[in-house]
Chain A
Amino acid sequence: MNILKQNFFELFGIPISIEVNHIELDKKYKILQQQFHPDNFSNSTNNEKRVALQISSQINDGYIILSNLISRIEYILKINNFIQDESKTIQDAKFLSKQIELSEFLESIDYSNVNNLNNHKLEINNFINELTNIISSNIIDKNFSEAWINLSKIKFYNNHLNQIERHSLS
């Protein structure tokens, strides 16, 4: 077994799953960095320094990917050797009308109405949660192409939330 060739779930010693326990992930992250952070090797040989730098970078990379829902799902698809066909578009009339509805919402949005805005965000987050559950079973069924389509929908909702966030900041 080689750390640099392990997948990130193995590296952090957690089960391969869409749901992660963030508190556990944080703890494992710190345990790993306490061992491998290059600062622990400032009096070591260049060889050890080099390897520590690689491993510590790997731990950070894994931490970032596993911490975030979208990158975590992408990563699970990747370790299942699923390669998406980028040219494929979503053929889903219901979702398309939802996309149009949300784009119109963005144009007419009233940022001063905080209550309304929060309800809207809650609704979008519920959509994301539903999709996450569906992807979970997609993956169990090894239906990766369906999982990928549902992930694209999550990405859309996530972008939508980011746009609202950016507007609220400015």
Chain B
Amino acid sequence: MSLIQISDPLEENKNQKKFVVGIDLGTTNSLICSYNESFKIYDNHKSDVIPSVVRYIKNHNPLIGHDAIISSSKHDTVLISSIKRLMGLTLDEIQSSQISLQHNLKIHNNMPSIEIHNKMINAVDVSSEILKYLKHIAESSENKVLDGAIITVPAYFNDVQRQATKNAAKLAGINVIRLLNEPTAAAIAYGLESNATGIYIIYDFGGGTFDVSILSLEKGIFQVIATDGDTMLGGDDIDEIIINWLKKNYKILEKLSYIELKKIAISLKESFSNNSNSASYNFNEHKIILDKNIFENLIDKIIKKTINIVRNTIQESKINFKDINNIILVGGSTRIPLVKSFLEKEFNCVVLNDIDPDKVVVHGASIQASILSGNNKEDLLLLDVLPLSLGIETLGSLSEKIINRNTPIPIKAKKVFTTFKDGQTKLLVHIVQGERELIEHCKSLGKFVLHGIPPMISGAPRIEVEFQIDVDGILSVVATEKISGASSSIEVKPSYGLTESEISAMIQDANESVETDVKLRKLNESKVEAKRVIYALEEALKKDGKILLNTKELKVIDKELNLLKEKISSKDPDLINDAIKMLEKKSEFYVEKRMNSSIKSLIAGKNIDDIL
């Protein structure tokens, strides 16, 4: 009689492919796509792109995408579009921008919000509705629960806009593997398919934002050299110009609503995508005609603005124009023929648009998702940069730069602060992002107060503040007080947007689920995490535990490992989490030792020719 073989559940999980996707959360349209040898874009209406539109209906769940647009019920509904333009902005920033608003904004919980059916809704809420919908159509198509997603953002998004995007995903119950810059995602889609090498310019002109990135591509390595852009420049601005032209030239349209005017403008604009010489639109027996010449005159200024940004980025990156291999077009607005001809004339190189400019970003994101999740074993290294300089406020309301833009990320910078007055026990640190000299022209990321400085004469205390930018381009700050040998660290979360607990509260709120449900999920997550930690550590110990650790060190780790194994059957997620944290703390030196030993074997004593 043979024994029944049962595989180790963890081993089995390892071989199972994870369900991961790329999400392009666009101003006008959004896409969700998975990659498994081929691309699979999820949609409900056979059009691939999902309009980034949310219709709030009284006493009903909101409708998203095509459903929101075609919905016949106009009564008691509010339609929200182009929400991405408002992500991470303050009320002042919105009011001083060129964005035309259809709704009245008020401040609620520190964020600009609009009141819809007696509820205050902000940009993060609206974005999370779109993300929830995307998740839903992908999950129901695969009949699987989504494990994680890579969400793309404009390269030129600042820290606040990135945080806001991550918060929206959290609110939608999506595990964000990583944020990925849109031009970089496009480069992956092009680069991996064609094995391209050399210098590439990604020209990404979307519905609401313009981005340019210069990348150096070689086999499996995508290095961003420089990036620049304008988060307030896109197809929306072109529509705006056409709308103004329509109002001026066709008195019959005067009484139309903004949304109806926008529909005509978009229809006219899109007619030029197939190189026609004039566009027309029939409106109540009237024919509205827009000539190509007039159209190109209208948008000339906008296109030139993008070309100038590209030219400055090239010059700043110290690259010769002649070294540029190709320009890659990304984003729906590059369908306007004038864009391509302008670029060809200006930079005298081949302009590529073979991959659908609407899909190239989501393709790249889905490839990256499949690689980072371990589904796809392809070698890929992405070296991205910080898009905007990080600074702190100094005397005279000036910004002192501590990390310059186009610095490769992740990156860390330290700054030592001291007191201005004798006996001062508090210190205010104001962090800003942007290139301008004056604080008021930069984006305020947050202010925090360092408390508990021992009273000393001015200039004596030394408070070291560490600024860490992670791979998503998001900042975290740790302050250490270095007086009289006693150093204490505090984690500082910038004060903008939402705090961790506010997000959890919102998630609970949104789900309206019974408390036990939430607890069960939490317990489950803790158990999975505990198993992962145990597995990883045991595997590592098997490999090199005896080489790198002495008996005493092995005992310490063994003890914590066994404690966690005991706690794993507990019903209290906090107990499990505490045990995980303890084990992690006690084994951190071992992880460092392992990495150190791998770096030694990587570089030490080797000639460069032996390695390559």
Q: Which residues of B contact A63 (CB under 8 A)?
A: 408
Give the residue of A3, A38, A44 whose beta carbon is less than 8 angstroms from that of B536: A44
Interface pair A42/B372, CB less than 8 Å apart: yes
Chain B residue at minimum C-beta to C-beta distance from A13: B603
Residue from A13, A32, A50, A63 whose CB has the most chain B CB atoms within 10 Å: A13
Chain B: minimal CB distance from A117 (Å): 15
User: CB-defined interface of A16-57 with B at 8 Å, one 1/0 digit per residue?
Assistant: 000000001001101111111111001111111011111111
Partner among B374, B471, B600, B612 whose Cβ is within 8 Å of the Cβ of A43: B374
In the bound complex, residues from chain A placing their C-beta under 8 Å from that of B312 are 169
Once the chains bind, are A45 and B537 in contact (CB under 8 Å)?
A: yes
Q: Kindly provide the distance from the CB of B564 to the nearest chain A CB, expressed in whole angstroms.
A: 12
**Cβ-neighbour of A45 out of B374, B532, B600 (below 8 A):** B532
Complex contact A45–B533 (CB within 8 A): yes
Min CB gap B538→A, angstroms: 12
B70 located at the interface, meaning its Cβ lies under 8 Å from any Cβ of chain A in the complex? no
Give the interface centre of B177, B223, B372, B599 by most chain A CB atoms within 10 Å: B599
A102 to B536: give the CA distance in the assembly, Å. 62
| Other-chain residue from A12, A42, A53 in contact with B178 (beta carbon distance below 8 A) | A42
Taking CB atoms, residues of chain A closer than 8 Å to B599 are 3, 11, 32, 35-36, 55
Query: Is B588 part of the binding interface, using a Cβ–Cβ cutoff of 8 Å?
Result: yes
Given A42-B372, A53-B468, also A36-B603 (CB < 8 A) = no
Tell me if A2 counts as interface (CB < 8 A to partner B). Answer: yes
Query: CA–CA, A50 to B379, complex, Å?
Result: 22
When chains A and B are docked, how far (Å) is the Cα of A37 from the Cα of B380? 11
Are A35 and B598 touching (Cβ within 8 A)?
yes
Task: Give B226 Cβ to nearest chain A Cβ, in Å.
Answer: 14
A39-B471, A42-B178, A42-B372 known; A51 and B591 CB under 8 Å?
yes
Would you call A1 an interface residue if the criterion is a C-beta within 8 Å of the partner chain's C-beta atoms? yes
* Minimum Cβ distance to chain B for residue A54 (Å): 7
Determine if A146 is an interface residue (Cβ-Cβ < 8 Å): no
- Asked if B470 contacts A3 (CB within 8 A), the reply is no
A61 at the interface (CB under 8 A from B): yes
**A39 to B: closest C-beta gap in Å:** 6
Interface size class of B (residues with CB under 8 A): 35 or more
Residue pair A1, B532 in contact (C-beta under 8 Å): no
Residues of B within 8 A of A24 (CB): 608
| B407 contact set on A, CB distance < 8 A | 60, 64
Decide if A61 touches B411 in the complex (CB within 8 Å).
Answer: yes
Tell me the complex Cα distance, A50–B471, Å: 12
Give the chain A neighbours of B412 by CB distance below 8 A: 54, 57-58, 61
Cα of A168 to Cα of B532 in the assembled complex, Å: 57
With a cutoff of 8 Å between Cβ atoms, the chain B residues found around residue A1 in the complex are 596, 600
Quick check: is B348 within 8 A (CB to CB) of the other chain? no
Complex contact A31–B595 (CB within 8 A)? no
How far apart are B560's CB and chain A's nearest CB, in angstroms? 12
Bound-state Cα–Cα, A82 to B608, Å: 31
Q: What residues on B are CB-neighbors of A61 within 8 Å?
A: 411-412
B409 within 8 A of A: yes
List residues of B (385-415) whose CB comes within 8 Å of A's CBs: 407-412
Cα separation A46 to B603 with both chains bound (whole Å): 25
Name A46's closest neighbour in chain B (CB-CB).
B584
Contact B596 A31 (CB under 8 A): no
C-alpha gap A140/B88 in the complex (Å): 53
Task: Identify which of A4, A28, A30, A53 contacts B410 (C-beta below 8 A).
Answer: A53
Measured CB to CB, the closest approach of chain B to A135, in angstroms, equals: 23
Docked-complex contact B596 and A60, CB < 8 angstroms: no
Does A35 lie within 8 Å of B470, measured CB to CB? Answer: no
How close is B17's CB to chain A, nearest CB, in angstroms?
Answer: 13
The one of B380, B381, B408, B600 that contacts A60, using a Cβ cutoff of 8 Å: B408
Q: Which residues in B have their C-beta under 8 angstroms from that of A31?
A: 602-603, 611-612
A55 touches B408 (CB 8 A): no
Distance of A48 Cα from B539 Cα, bound (Å)? 14
Pick the contact of A52 from B382, B383, B532, B595 — CB < 8 Å? B595
Give the complex CA separation of A22 and B611 in angstroms. Answer: 17
| Given known contacts A51-B592, A55-B595, A28 and B381 CB-to-CB distance under 8 angstroms | no
Known: A39-B178, A45-B536, A61-B411. A30 touches B381 (CB 8 A): yes
Q: Is the CB of A38 within 8 A of B608?
A: no
Return the CB mask of B398-439 against A: 1 if under 8 Å, else 0.
000000000111111000000000000000000000000000
- The answer to whether the Cβ of B524 comes within 8 Å of any Cβ in the partner chain is no
A44 to chain B, nearest CB (A): 7
- Nearest Cβ on chain B to A22's Cβ, whole angstroms: 13
Contact B177 A48 (CB under 8 A): no
Q: Known pairs A42-B372, A47-B591. 9 more at Cβ < 8 A?
A: A27-B612, A32-B599, A34-B379, A35-B599, A36-B599, A38-B410, A39-B382, A44-B536, A61-B411
Provide 27 A-B residue pairs closer than 8 Å at the C-beta atoms, listed in order of the A residue: A1-B596, A1-B600, A2-B592, A3-B596, A13-B603, A24-B608, A27-B611, A31-B612, A35-B602, A36-B595, A37-B471, A42-B178, A43-B372, A44-B536, A45-B533, A45-B537, A47-B591, A48-B591, A48-B595, A51-B592, A55-B595, A57-B468, A58-B412, A60-B408, A60-B409, A60-B410, A60-B411
Please list the 3 inter-chain residue pairs (A to B) with the smallest Cβ-Cβ separation, ordered nearest first. A13-B603, A57-B412, A60-B408
